[in-house]
Amino acid sequence: MPIRLQLLTEDPKEVELIERYWAMDESGQFLEKVSALSDVLEMGQGVTLAGFIRQRCRAFDENQVCPQCGELIEVRSRSEARKMPLRSTRLCTRCQDERDAITLKAEKDKVAKLETFLAEYVRGQASRVVDYDSVSDAQVLLLLALDRAVSPRLTQGGFTLGDCRGLAPLYISGFLKTLNDAGLFLEDPSKAKPGTYYWKGDDVWQVSAQVVYLLMPNTPYAEGEEVIRRLSERTYTDAEGIFNLWLDYSVADVMCYLQTQCELYNHELTEQAWDEIKSTLRCALETYSVSQLWSVAWKVVRDAASLANREYYTRQKAAATVAGKVRRYLERVERESLELKSWSRPEQQPVGTLGMLLGEMFGVDEHTSGIAAMSRIRMLTGEGNSSMEAELGAPIRELMTNALAMDIAASVMLRFAELIRAGHDVSFAVEEIVGSLSARMTRPC
């Protein structure tokens, strides 16, 4: 019999059942079917025959030998038995227990080593402080917007990446990385979920979505709330940095809308295509508004959807045209001086706390063009005021002189107000009106 039995019962009927269950012929076939043995003895409700036998006997297959020590392999059911001698990849129970013990000890050692590493990491963070007076204006605005999105967890209790969904429509991890790379966050491993930090080779890795962050203090004794209060009193002076933050936020606003439209029409774009579109739109936002680029996204996605319905096009080929369509259409708009339509904000796409803060501080929203946004930011940060006044002095004098000479001062002021409300900056409005007045004055009678 190729199955060697170690009986754990002395009951004759149970012994007979066990031997009949494991009985095999010379070819390795079991002599009796399991169904024929199920009613030999009365078993409790829910107890299987294999489970009943395992409790009363240990079975070792003579056709399977432990590759480590040469002992027979224990089998727990008929399906594990072999009809002929085979090289086993399984270990015997004793060798497997020894290996499991070694593995368990190694895991415990790694856990202890990880705990030591994290404790040292936390101590290193505690020794650092941040001089918030040297933090850039853009980073301060990001922190204040983040505080609104996760309040009060930025300064109390900690927050994760998933808690920050209210910050912006898209690219939230990128905004947080900017702050983290600047050393403005500390991590709290004690509040993170188990498994957040783990060994990969000789390095400690982390599951980014589970990391718990807190605002870094500016002194060992400062409260986070005091840091936020002081930051909220900041006087902003870095127009270029703030404008770049506005561009980052605005491109997230446009890309979120574009992704939604692509999902609606089942356009699957490659990562390279998304990166190309993002760069194109960020450049376009220096001139146009978010709402105008929403209309571009709407048009391009529907054009691609129309291509997908053509006989020789597939949806994949149509999706591959989206990046090029965005670039070519914007080039055409600039070349032919086309007027872009403005779309209203979709109900399912909220502004986010960063957009709301930029609106409160600098009067910009989805309808503000990049030109107007830069002008307003420069005006409110005090940058370029004197140079702008010098540049506009002569054109404004010309405008006022011509308007008074033609007795159309009122209509000129109304036109100026109209252009400003449309999102144009002062320079553009003055230049446009001066040009139109000059044309009227040189027109033949």
pLDDT tens track for 215-264: 988 765 566 788 899 999 999 999 999 999 999 999 999 999 999 999 99
For residues 47 and 132, give the distance between their C-alpha atoms in angstroms, rounded to a whole number.
Answer: 69
Least confident of 110-114, 270-274, 284-288, 391-395: 391-395
pLDDT above 90 covers a percentage of the chain that reads 55
Least confident of 4-18, 382-396, 408-422: 382-396
Cα-flanking dihedrals φ and ψ of residue 422, to 5°?
A: -75, -5
Considering the entire predicted model, what is its pTM?
0.72
**Closest among 323, 361, 443, 306 to 138, alpha carbons compared:** 361
**What CA dihedral angle connects 25, 28, 29 and 35, to 10 degrees?**
100
Query: What confidence score (pLDDT) does residue 441 get?
Result: 66
User: Cα dist. 401→125, 412, 418 in Å?
Assistant: 64, 11, 20
> What's the whole-number mean pLDDT along residues 350-379?
95
Query: What confidence score (pLDDT) does residue 111 get?
Result: 93
Q: How confident is the model at residue 385 (pLDDT cuts 50, 70, 90)?
A: low
Contact 354/145 with Cβ under 8 angstroms? yes
Mean pLDDT for the chain?
A: 89
pLDDT tens track for 193-222: 999 999 998 899 999 999 999 998 876 556
Contact 42/50 with Cβ under 8 angstroms? no
pLDDT of 400 strictly over 50? yes
Q: How confident is the model at residue 1 (pLDDT cuts 50, 70, 90)?
A: low
Query: What confidence score (pLDDT) does residue 392 get?
Result: 73
Least confident of 164-168, 262-266, 423-427, 430-434: 423-427
Mark out the alpha helices in 127-152 (DSSP H runs). 137-150
pLDDT of 397 strictly over 60? yes
Query: What confidence score (pLDDT) does residue 445 get?
Result: 44
Tell me which of 236 and 415 has the higher pLDDT. Answer: 236
For residues 151 and 144, give the distance between their C-alpha atoms in angstroms, rounded to a whole number.
Answer: 10
pLDDT tens track for 76-115: 888 888 888 877 788 888 999 999 999 999 999 999 999 9
Q: Which pairing describes strands 203-206 and 197-200: parallel, antiparallel, or unpaired?
A: antiparallel
Q: How confident is the model at residue 146 (pLDDT cuts 50, 70, 90)?
A: very high
For residues 249 and 265, give the distance between their C-alpha atoms in angstroms, rounded to a whole number.
Answer: 25
pLDDT of 438 strictly over 80? no
Contact 86/65 with Cβ under 8 angstroms? no
Query: What confidence score (pLDDT) does residue 270 get?
Result: 96
**Closest among 273, 264, 265 to 324, alpha carbons compared:** 273
Question: For residue 276, what are the contacts with CB-CB under 8 A and spacing of at least 6?
Answer: 323, 327
Query: What confidence score (pLDDT) does residue 85 get?
Result: 83
